[in-house]
Amino acid sequence: MAEALTTESLKEIILSRLDATHVEVTDMSGGCGQAFTTVIVSPQFQGLNSLKRHRLVNGALKQEIAAIHAWTAKCKTPDEWQRDQGEANRPDLEGTVGGKVEGTTQ
């Protein structure tokens, strides 16, 4: 490859090749372009299991992944991503029964 990958260049590549709606790229290498952790949200993952999703990504980024030492990807569909975001923002329901607090009313 001509030049080392950056978070920006890798993000552009993923957005375009995987029809992604949301991409997060974190460079874990300290700048040498050898280690990336990514979150990829794409409708192309719909109906595919985890292995097939990763195979799709591996195929689309063959050259790039070969040049990266440490590659990590989380592959979500837009629906799953939205649901996960919702869960992250929701208040903690621990100790409740289906979201209701028991014993507060007669």
Partner 1 sequence: MFARTATARQGLRTAFRGAPSAAFSAPRLAIPRQSLQIRFLSAETRTAIDKAVASAPVVLFMKGTPETPACGFSRAVIQILGLQGVDPTRFAAFNVLEDAELRSGIKEYSDWPTIPQLYVEKEFVGGCDILVSMHQNGDLAKLFEEKKLVVEEGKEEKTE
Interface ranges with partner 1 (CB under 8 A): 50-51, 54-55, 58, 62, 65-66, 70-74
* CB nearer to partner 1: pick between 50 and 85: 50
> Please, what is the minimum distance in Å from the beta carbon of residue 88 to partner 1?
15
**Tokens 């978070």, residue?**
7
> Please, what is the minimum distance in Å from the beta carbon of residue 84 to partner 1?
12
If we measure between CA atoms, which residue out of 21, 27, 25 comes closest to residue 38? 25
Q: Helical H runs in 1-106? A: 7-17, 50-60, 62-67, 78-89
- Which residue type occupies 90? R
* CB nearer to partner 1: pick between 4 and 66: 66
